[in-house]
Amino acid sequence: MNKHYPSMVMVCMLLFMGITTASTNDCIVFTFIPENEVIDCDDTPFFTLPMAVDNCCSDDVTLTKSDSSYTIGCETVYIRTWTASSPCGNSASIKTTITQKDLSAPIIILNDPQLVGLNSGDFLVRSCDEVFALGPNPVSVVDNCDPDPKLVLFDGLESGNCPQDGYVEILTCTWTATDDCGNESSFTFFVKFVDEKAPVIHCPDDQIAECDAADGDFGTATATDNCDDNLAITSIDNLVVINPCESVIERTWTATDHCWNESSCVQNIKLIDTTKPEIWCPDDLTLECDMLANPDYTGMASATDNCDDDVYIAWSDDTTFVTAHC
């Protein structure tokens, strides 16, 4: 079915006669209305054309526009009023808006070579005796809308339980960048200070001592460490018997630091028996010539030794005749 539109003459005659077939707004219909948009502050506003028809008299619709805008805080709202008019004098208007605001957080740029390539939350590892320092301007910040965003550094150093945590101390560094619209970004990295070096230990000199001096003072090991000034130094003895008269105490000294790194050395303490036993003879006796001079009758010598609890005692007689006959 063909659609017929009244001619301009007919429309004008009807209007002149006070007769209308439709209100002005009812005749103009917008067949396409662009959606309102939100764009970033560095984007250029671009309004899309709407489309309209006049259902009452003509397809020849003219679009005109008028613009206004206002700014509140970090937002600028651009308002475009579109007016569609037909030759019949019908018209209708719509408004579309584009809100321009700062949608993007500042970008933190890593400048220091030690930081380049890191992601936020990554770890650096340094020796506990190393001084960690960044160069000048280790990071910088840029923003698409704010020429001078704020950049603040927060850092803190905490001690760790080295055997459990694997580090002596941990340094946390966080840069936070904020633009004038409150958009925020941050970058955090951690530095673990670890102790992977064992202490350097020095044993006392080897010693030679009497066999009964095993509990003597033969010196104490000393040790130094790159990170721990309070080392634990312990010793364990192992007795090696070479022969009944000689033995060696192998004394193993161990130095342990706060991360359980340890080093050891061995001190040898030779124990030898160079002291003669002490012997006590029984008292002198006078016997009848027919009596036996056996120690069972004359008494047995006694002896002690500093190293031997079972001293062997031997005896021999030397007979001297004082006179030829009794």
Is there a shared CATH topology between the 8-101 domain and the 200-272 domain?
Answer: yes
Pairing of strands 169-178, 75-85: unpaired
CA-CA distance, 249 to 255, in Å (whole number)?
Answer: 19
**CA torsion 283→288→289→291, rounded to 10°?**
-80
Please tell me the CATH code under which domain 200-272 is placed.
2.60.40.10
CA-CA distance, 239 to 215, in Å (whole number)?
Answer: 13
Which CATH architecture does the domain made up of 107-194 adopt?
Sandwich (2.60)
Residue 44 makes CB contacts below 8 A (sequence gap 6+) with none
Listed range (87-91, 181-185, 229-233, 312-316) with the worst mean pLDDT: 312-316
Which residues is 175 bridged to in the sheet? 153, 187
Instruction: Check if the beta carbon of residue 149 is closer than 8 Å to that of residue 114.
Output: no
Q: Is the pTM of this model over 0.75?
A: no
Does residue 17 register a pLDDT over 60? no
- Using DSSP's 3-state secondary structure scheme, residue 25 falls into helix
- DSSP codes, 113-146: TTTTTPPTTEEEEEETTSPP---SS-EEEE-SS-
DSSP 8-class letter at 230: S
What confidence tens digit (pLDDT) does each residue in 285-321 have? 777 777 777 777 777 887 777 777 777 788 787 777 6
Residue 119 makes CB contacts below 8 A (sequence gap 6+) with none
What is the pLDDT averaged over residues 26-39? 93
What confidence tens digit (pLDDT) does each residue in 37-85 have? 999 988 999 999 999 999 988 778 999 999 999 999 889 999 999 999 9
CA-CA distance, 14 to 9, in Å (whole number)?
Answer: 9
Instruction: Check if the beta carbon of residue 249 is closer than 8 Å to that of residue 269.
Output: yes
CA atoms within 13 A on the CB side of 294: 5
Alpha carbon 253 to chain centroid, angstroms: 33
What confidence tens digit (pLDDT) does each residue in 256-292 have? 999 999 999 999 999 998 777 888 888 887 777 777 7
Task: Name the strands in the sheet holding 207-210, side by side, starting at the edge strand that comes first in the sequence.
Answer: 207-210, 262-272, 246-256, 232-243
Q: Where are the domains of the chain?
A: 8-101, 107-194, 200-272, 280-326
Does residue 5 register a pLDDT over 60? no
Does residue 221 register a pLDDT over 50? yes
Largest CA distance in the chain: 195
Does residue 194 register a pLDDT over 80? yes
What confidence tens digit (pLDDT) does each residue in 157-174 have? 999 999 999 999 999 999
Of 101 and 303, the one with more pLDDT: 101
Which residues is 255 bridged to in the sheet? 233, 263
Does residue 188 register a pLDDT over 50? yes
CA-CA distance, 189 to 302, in Å (whole number)?
Answer: 82
Q: pLDDT band for position 325 (50/70/90)?
A: low
Instruction: Check if the beta carbon of residue 47 is closer than 8 Å to that of residue 154.
Output: no
Helix (H) / strand (E) element for 279: namely strand 278-280
- The vertex-17 CA angle with 13 and 21, nearest 5°, equals 75
Please tell me the CATH code under which domain 8-101 is placed.
2.60.40.10
Strand extents, DSSP E, 88-231: 91-101, 107-110, 122-127, 139-142, 150-159, 169-178, 184-194, 200-202, 207-210, 222-224
CA-CA distance, 301 to 314, in Å (whole number)?
Answer: 9
What is the pLDDT averaged over residues 105-129? 97
